[in-house]
Structure 1
Amino acid sequence: MRANFHLKTLTVAVATLSVISVANAAGLDRSGQDITAFLQDGTYAEAVYTYIDADVTGHDNAYVGSDKNAYQKGKKIDDIAESYDFFRYGVKADINDTFSVGILYDEPFGAAADYSGNNNFVDQNPLSPRNGEGTNVEVRTESITGIIGAKLGESKNFQVYGGPVAQRVKADVKLRGTAYSAANGYSIHVSPDQDYGWIAGMAYSKPEIALKAALTYRSEIEHNAPASELYPFVANLPPALGLSTNRSDTIEIKTPESVNFDFQTGINPTTLATAKVRWVPWSDFAIVPSLYNDVSKLSTGDNTGLPLVDYDDDQWQVELGLAKRVAPALAISGTVGWDSGAGNPITSLGPIEGYYSAGLGAKYNFTENWAVSAGGKYLWFGDAKGQIPNKTIVSDFESNDGFILGAKLSYQAK
């Protein structure tokens, strides 16, 4: 006789994995844009806190010459990765046995890097008003996603869902030190801007074996944000070029589209296997401030110029997990993951080429409806060489790692 892996008995194990799953990745990816809160049964709500701390150290480039790809080990670069944290919230309810609604909040994209010490990414000129300042980048986004879903078929096994996404972005970047040549001293402040996109997906479930599969697409979101630039080098250029050291303009930033695949299935009545796959086309992403771009055209000799940030490759991310219910109210889980990164060499503002990861988590149901989860993940970062927009190698980062800690409070009533 075939055993039934009822979701009721596996609830403890299911949600454990999502505490620290897919977080910190290629490009500016942070949260993984998880939507599994909407895929839970009945009325469901969660609040998730994630803390990420990475150790990213390397050396600058001591090579002097015309070969952009040449590298010679230079001065030490201390840890540039600033620790950061973010929250994720989700609420979902069934209107009836066909329609469901949900609201999700997360912080999908971001960056936090800060150079210090005695190296080519810190202004060492005693005559400069920026003496001692290091290269710094801070990018933050926030998203609110509204979802409505409809279950189809005689057994309601299929579901289609979609809805609007509101997203807010802001950023600050400072380039300092001889690594950036004429761009030493450049700064840009991108004021907060809100714009809109959409989400759409489909899901399939088979409760008798605790199987769920969902494919979710998120659109790119185009921001036209107010931006203020400062470029001290422009003061050395001929006035006839019509460039000023300061410029206030708008900047177009398109946060990328993405595709997520979420899968789970029961192995036996107390064990669940899961898989997550995520694709983000970072090769299509670029940040192109107008003043920076206009000045770069002098060196490129064309009408295109250079972006401040761009990436060569798309990101692929895979995470596999097992969850085991070890007591009526307690489950444990483990995950292994891989992230392809977004190219190598890569921007000096985020010199990591993907990672491998291993994580552990646990969930305890302290009442029938309420539960608390906690977990941790260790990351082994891929070695990468840092480059500036003209593709000159300026640094090398090797043997770096990091960790993620997460906690979640959840409520579910079926």
Structure 2
Amino acid sequence: MRPTFHLKTLVVAVAAFSVASIASAAGLDRSGQDITTFLQDGLYAEAVYTYIDADVTGNDNAYIGGDNNAYIQGNKTGDVAESYDFFRYGVKADINDTFSVGILYDEPFGAAASYSGDNNFVARGDLDATINAASDGALPNYAQAEGQFDALQQAVADGATLTPQQQAQFQALGSALAIAQAEQATKGEGTNVEVRSESITAILGMKLGENKNFQVYGGPVAQRVRADVKLRGIAYGPATGYTSHISPDQDYGWLAGMSYSKPEIALKAALTYRSEIDHKMQIAEIYPVAEALGINPVQSNTMEMSTPKSVNIDFQTGINPTTIATAKVRWVPWSDFEIVPPLYNEVSKGSYGPDGLALVGYDDDQWQVELGMAKRLTPALALSGTVGWDSGAGDPTTSLGPIDGYYSAGLGAKYNVTENWAVSAGGKYLWFGDAKGQLPTKKIVGDFQDNDGYILGVKLSYQAQQNFN
């Protein structure tokens, strides 16, 4: 006869997983958009704090030339990943034995990277080195470039008609000089990016079937996003000195899913789909080299950006009356995601065709898998362990987040302070995948290897049974 796993004896173990269970390295993913709060039984509420510290170091590219794939190990970048933290809150209640409601808050997407030191991602203000890099080694110093440009400019002033070759040279020299001047104007500043988001999800669920084992659920999602980007150093070529501020914007999407539960064996399974959310954002941009191309270098525009859709699968089942196994799977199509600032894109069209370039984009979709087990040791204490894998979103990847997925291992514990109140704590160690950093032009600008990080989390939760008989 198959044993019955009473939920009361297992619930202490379940929630130990979700403290530091998902924290993503692919694309801009952060929280994993967890909805397990809504899948809890009875009245449930939680507050979760997560801290992430990643060590991402590498070397810039010392190669100067026209081969985008060529790489020669250059100077060390130092740690480019800034530590960050975020909160997650949730509350769920049953209206009756059929309907449930929930409110979830999380910070789903983000980025925090900052370069410093002596490398190609920091503006050194070296005019000769900048001209040399901007011309792929054809011009050894600033004085030579300035002399050639002045000679052509004087010829035009004297009424001469430049040949197509001279005209192209004139424009290239003007661009190279503008790049050098932008590099000098931002001397000492490092490349920096910060993206922050917030999300509130309202969920209504309806249980179906004779034993209420099935549930369908869905609801609206409000999402707020803001960002700041600074590109500095000769690694970014004509984009050095580029600065943008994306003002906070709030837009809306939706969530839908279905779940199945079998309490006698502590089985729960859920499939959740989140829609992409389209944002129309106000962006202020400064692009110094644009002036040399006859484009206003300081502009304010409206930019469209869509945060990606996603699919989450959550599963748990009892192994014995004190042990639970869990699995989480997440898919995000980062290959469909782009950030395309209007001025940045307009400047790039002159060299890269009518569509221009996106500031940020990814080649691959993200797959994430996490497996775990939790064991109830005493009536009040449970321990849990997890192992995980994240596919990343492609290698090479953007230099603003040079990580290609990870492997992870984590431990967690939960202690029931009272019958209803509990505190949980957990940690996870991450082994990041090696990645080449590239520009939107596909030029390799850095190599980042042997990196790691860790996650710490703490949670306060409350749970009480609701009886409608």
TM-score (norm 2): 0.87
Q: How many residues align?
A: 409
Corresponding residue of 2:417 = 366
1:129: Cα distance to partner? 2.8
Deviations 1:124-180 (A, max 9, x none): 006723110000000000000000000000000000000000000000000000000
Q: Does 1:258 align with 2:279?
A: no
Structure 2 residue identity aligned to 1:290 = P
Corresponding residue of 2:324 = 272
Corresponding residue of 1:298 = 350
1:253: Cα distance to partner? 1.2
Supply the RMSD in Å over aligned alpha carbons: 0.7
Deviations 1:14-46 (A, max 9, x none): 000011111132000000000000000000000
Corresponding residue of 1:209 = 265
Structure having the larger proportion of residues in strand: 1
Structure 1 residue identity aligned to 2:60 = D
Deviations 1:310-349 (A, max 9, x none): 0000000000000000000000000000000000000000
Paired with 1:292 and 1:234, the residues of 2 have a C-alpha distance of 9
Q: Secondary structure at the match of 2:357?
A: coil
Paired with 2:39 and 2:385, the residues of 1 have a C-alpha distance of 21
- Summarize the alignment of residues 319-398 of structure 1 with structure 2, pairs less than 5 Å apart: 319-398=370-449
Corresponding residue of 1:110 = 110
Q: Secondary structure at the match of 2:335?
A: helix
Structure 2 residue identity aligned to 1:221 = I
Q: Does 1:37 align with 2:76?
A: no
Q: Pick from 231, 242, 256: which aligns with 1:200?
A: 256
Paired with 1:25 and 1:44, the residues of 2 have a C-alpha distance of 29
Structure 2 residue identity aligned to 1:53 = D
* Structure 2: stretches of 5+ with no match in the other structure: 127-180
Paired with 1:3 and 1:27, the residues of 2 have a C-alpha distance of 43
Structure 2 residue identity aligned to 1:271 = T
Q: Does 1:170 align with 2:221?
A: no
Paired with 1:24 and 1:124, the residues of 2 have a C-alpha distance of 33
Corresponding residue of 1:134 = 190
Paired with 2:67 and 2:100, the residues of 1 have a C-alpha distance of 59
Structure having the larger proportion of residues in helix: 2
- Summarize the alignment of residues 136-151 of structure 1 with structure 2, pairs less than 5 Å apart: 136-151=192-207
Paired with 1:261 and 1:398, the residues of 2 have a C-alpha distance of 31
Corresponding residue of 2:156 = none
Paired with 2:112 and 2:14, the residues of 1 have a C-alpha distance of 32
Q: Secondary structure at the match of 1:390?
A: coil
1:105: Cα distance to partner? 0.1
Paired with 1:34 and 1:76, the residues of 2 have a C-alpha distance of 37
Q: Secondary structure at the match of 1:116?
A: coil
Paired with 2:91 and 2:8, the residues of 1 have a C-alpha distance of 19
1:8: Cα distance to partner? 1.1
- Summarize the alignment of residues 142-161 of structure 1 with structure 2, pairs less than 5 Å apart: 142-161=198-217
1:3: Cα distance to partner? 1.4
Structure 1 residue identity aligned to 2:344 = Y
TM-score (norm 1): 0.98
* Structure 1: stretches of 5+ with no match in the other structure: none
Corresponding residue of 2:56 = 56
Corresponding residue of 2:282 = 226
Paired with 2:279 and 2:21, the residues of 1 have a C-alpha distance of 28
Q: Does 1:401 align with 2:452?
A: yes
Q: Secondary structure at the match of 1:18?
A: helix
**Dislocated runs of 4+, deviation >6 Å:** none
Aligned identity (percent) is: 76
1:2: Cα distance to partner? 2.5
